[in-house]
Structure 1
Amino acid sequence: MIRKHPDFLDTNPDEVKGERLFEGDILLTPTQRRSLNERKGIAHPYYRWRDGSDGLPLVPYTFGDRSVDRVAVREGLEHWMEHTCITFQRATTIRTPHLRFIKGGGCYSYVGRMGQWRGQPVSIGTNCNVWEHLLHGSLKSVAVRLHFLCQALGFDLSSGDRLIMLNIEPWESSPTTINTDWLPTAKSQSPEVELGIVVHEVGHAIGFVHEQSRPDRDGYIKIINSNVIPNRLSNFNKYSNAAINNMDVPYDYSSVMHYGPKGFTVNGKTTISTHNPLAQGMIGRRVRNLPGLSHRDKLLANRMYNCIGKYGNYGFLNF
């Protein structure tokens, strides 16, 4: 059975170029990996992006792949700029640190600025669009809700939630195809990848870690280990107090950096249970109807980069 709200982390590769992805979508340098093993910090100010000529944090970027979803990337960057003082600009040189957006074998990023690199990869790639993965996989029978399928494809359906069956019987010698003539015509061009996924990976690139890995997470959630894929249990490890700095921002169920309730499930059951039952539907919101930064995501970024101190109180959250 396919979940109503699948998670791109479930379709991400385990490794990228021989390096195992940390927590499902994070690349680590050898230094960062050693720091984690020694329970030291990876959120050192060294990994934060430097200020530009205007005194505000500047993150240069390039597109390293012609096939990357540029519309989705730009919308994600604009979302960050709308709510923080961080500026994203096309790089004028490739000889200084910058983000290099690619279409790799999944969705992943390093945490923070890699000062010794010349273009750190941020992959908005294969399987980032979970619906695309479901439709073009080798499944024999896929059950999806029409409303969410059309919404994922960019169609505006304001009502109706009919259940349909797509019976896929591929020929052994040909790829699976689905007749989509019944679909309505899209009203406008839209990105293939959800906004929240891009915002999530860019969050890693500016220094954010996963919310459910915070040292204080046990006061808010419970990890149900028996429902987790055995070789993915390490994805639910939590950081030590010395490893990260939460900038005194409280735990955030609705963070764009939070795993969904069934992340890495082995049996379709819940892997993360919130102590407050009312918060269960809030976690993993990046693939829900309201993707993007939460109030506390914005607060954390603005405190991390001292947006108030650098720019004054021009709508940047500080409480």
Structure 2
Amino acid sequence: MGEEKDLMEANKGKVGMFKPQFNPQIQRSAVYSESQLWTSPVPYVLDKGLDMNAKGVILRAFEHFRLKSCIDFKPRDTEKYYISVKKLNGCSSHVGRAVANGQDLSIGQNCDGISIVEHEFLHALGFYHEQGREDRDDYVTIQFENIKKGYEKNFRKIKNSITQGVPYDYWSVMHYGKKAFSKGNNTITTNDPTFQDVIGQKLEMSPKDVQELNLLYKCNSSVSFMMFCGFVDGTMCQMTKCSQSGLKGWQMESQVAGGPNSDHTGGKPAYFMHASTASGKEGDSAWLETRRVTPSRECHIQCLQFYYYHNGSPSDQLNIWMREFDDEDDMKGHLSLVGQITGTTTSHWQIKHVSLNANKHFQVEFQVWKGAGKSDGGFSIDDINLSQTECPHVTLQINDMEKLLSSSSFGTVIYSPRQYSRRGYAYRVGTALYKTHIGVFMQLLNGTHDDKLEWPCPHRHMAAQMIDQNPEIQLQMSKQRTLTSDPNRMYSDGTYVWDDPRKNGLTHVDENNKMIFVSRKLGWSKFATLEQMKTRDFLKGGSVVLSFSFEDISPLVDGQALPCPKVGPVVVTNPPKDQGEGPCSSRVEITTPPLPESTR
């Protein structure tokens, strides 16, 4: 019970669902026409009166648009038409490009959730509410008798609205919830009762939202997404592989003895890539490489995300390399080690994020290196995503979550190791298990740089996310919450919430059996229920993945954007000696033959 009290005390006014108020005077100004579409990048201005947390969420929403569509955003220069984001009365926006010299979009009190911000920006990009479609009566019933007087027009049908041929979407972030503008009872009833509690979801844009946005703006590709390979139907997505050793090399598999009995996706047919280390000698290696891709954003940072399964020898290595090429005619390139997986074997598919900073043509290469000792397995990888976005700063994967919730004592806490932000603040994140739900939180810790830091800690934006494990990140709808450190915020005892934990923290014995100072927990005691985990792909193979970012957004106090993030040095315990002769395309290339028709 003490753990939950800490979470709640440090987060009064933040826990629980909120009900943002919409301004009917600003909403839904006109039907779509060509003249109301924006030219990307869309200019914007963040008003100084916006809450700092809202500013951080808005920039996160921009990254979602870049990842999933061709829509980009930029701080306004001299453009006549731009979006002026302010803290007005509630959450509201015009529809489409409608007003010159600053088009107001309000992110007011309690509107700083990612789904609400995306909702309002989709209005600005030209979208009405989903339940306003002319065909809505085939999917929902509007209970007009339950709507508050004066708000009935928010439920009108939009004549001549364009749907791009995309089917009705109960999951749309543009759909009202079942009790929107209600006097008490439901105002919307879904004709399919399965979706009654889905409408009004507070996750993020749905795949159909993204599809409709891309159709409206005739997008051919996204701003940030580079590649995905899930080895669907046994195809390798233009990847190549090679091996000049005693290893069998990378092979397409659907299950491996003593290893994964299905791919991470869990579908049928299910394929992944596996490199066995059961044969060969120590030092032998096999390579699997992606096709070449080219950075296109001004910020040269990329995130590689994939899932792996390790069932070989603990001394085997999966090394992740980045090979950059000076130009298209460069055949060898420059190789740098960006990540390594070794040591303890796994019993589940594990998520892995690797930060890259390529500024030229490049490709990613997966090298399985055989270590000492007997191996009956090797390494498997699946669901590779590469994007021009920043990786999460910390990831916690909780395996056998449902079993762990039921068997653990109420309030059991799982902590991450100590982390350091780019500016030197020490912190850790964690999750608390409460039988039917989990809480998530962060804590400041004492660290090696404390005497050189500013206290109370100012304007750090913490984002906690339960990852939707859909294999394609462009189709994910993750659950996330955010908070931002306020140097002026105080507890009832007069101490600062975000002060140096050596001054107002508690003592705690860490994972290394050392005494440390920790702040009280800052987060959400009811972040996600077990029932919510079973929706979408949050609970996959029994595992839940939580990711966290801890970012300095102080440049937004007076500015409109953040500097490009930087990738820190890679720390590798056992760097391999064999760096290969060049990419597989310049060596003896081995391609994977098509699978027999009967196994597809």
Which bracket does the TM-score occupy, shorter chain normalised?
Answer: 0.5 to 0.7
Given candidates 83, 96, 103, the residue that maps to 2:80 is: 96
Corresponding position of 1:259: 176
| 2:29 pairs with 1:44 | no
Q: Is the CA contact 1:72–1:195 (under 8 Å) kept in the aligned structure 2? A: yes
Structure 2 distance, partners of 1:200, 1:13, is: 14
Residue 60 of structure 1 aligns with an amino acid whose one-letter code is: P
Task: Name the SS of the counterpart of 2:105 in structure 1.
Answer: strand
Alignment of 1:107-122 (within 5 A): 107-114=91-98, 117-122=100-105
Structure 2 distance, partners of 1:310, 1:200, is: 19
Corresponding position of 1:82: 67
| 2:220 pairs with 1:293 | no
Q: Is the CA contact 2:45–2:75 (under 8 Å) kept in the aligned structure 1? A: yes
Q: 1:309 to 1:124 in 2, by over 3 A?
A: closer
Structure 1 distance, partners of 2:222, 2:89, is: 38
Offset from partner CA, 1:122-167 (integer Å, 9 cap, x none): 1111342xxxxxxxxxxxxxxxxxxxxxxxxxxxxxxxxxxxxxxx
Corresponding position of 1:189: none
Residue 97 of structure 1 aligns with an amino acid whose one-letter code is: Y
Corresponding position of 2:126: 207
Alignment of 1:128-277 (within 5 A): 128=111, 193-240=112-159, 242=160, 244-267=161-184, 269-277=185-193
> Residue 12 of structure 1: CA displacement?
3.5
Structure 2 distance, partners of 1:5, 1:265, is: 16
Residue 251 of structure 1 aligns with an amino acid whose one-letter code is: Y
Q: Is the CA contact 1:85–1:307 (under 8 Å) kept in the aligned structure 2? A: yes
Structure 1 distance, partners of 2:108, 2:133, is: 27
Structure 2 distance, partners of 1:272, 1:6, is: 19
Task: Name the SS of the counterpart of 2:93 in structure 1.
Answer: strand
Q: Is the CA contact 1:7–1:260 (under 8 Å) kept in the aligned structure 2? A: no
What's the Cα RMSD here?
2.2
Structure 2 distance, partners of 1:218, 1:271, is: 13
Given candidates 213, 217, 222, the residue that maps to 1:305 is: 217
> Unpaired segments of 5 or more residues in structure 2?
1-15, 228-473, 476-600
Q: Is the CA contact 2:28–2:128 (under 8 Å) kept in the aligned structure 1? A: no
Residue 64 of structure 2 aligns with an amino acid whose one-letter code is: H
Higher Cα Rg: structure 1 or 2? 2
Structure 1 distance, partners of 2:19, 2:131, is: 15
Residue 34 of structure 2 aligns with an amino acid whose one-letter code is: P
**Aligned residue-pair number:** 211
Q: 1:195 to 1:7 in 2, by over 3 A?
A: same
Structure ranking higher in strand proportion: 2
> Unpaired segments of 5 or more residues in structure 1?
15-19, 33-41, 51-56, 129-192
Structure 2 distance, partners of 1:97, 1:70, is: 20
Q: 1:252 to 1:279 in 2, by over 3 A?
A: same
Task: Name the SS of the counterpart of 2:150 in structure 1.
Answer: helix
Structure 2 distance, partners of 1:63, 1:262, is: 31
Q: 1:5 to 1:127 in 2, by over 3 A?
A: closer
Equivalent pairs: percent with the same residue? 34
> Residue 310 of structure 1: CA displacement?
9.5
Offset from partner CA, 1:66-116 (integer Å, 9 cap, x none): 4342101111111111111101111122x42111111111111111113x5
Q: Is the CA contact 1:60–1:98 (under 8 Å) kept in the aligned structure 2? A: yes
Offset from partner CA, 1:154-184 (integer Å, 9 cap, x none): xxxxxxxxxxxxxxxxxxxxxxxxxxxxxxx
Q: What is the TM-score with the length of structure 1 in the denominator? A: 0.62
Q: Is the CA contact 2:93–2:105 (under 8 Å) kept in the aligned structure 1? A: yes
> Residue 252 of structure 1: CA displacement?
0.4
> Residue 5 of structure 1: CA displacement?
4.4
Task: Name the SS of the counterpart of 1:307 in structure 2.
Answer: coil
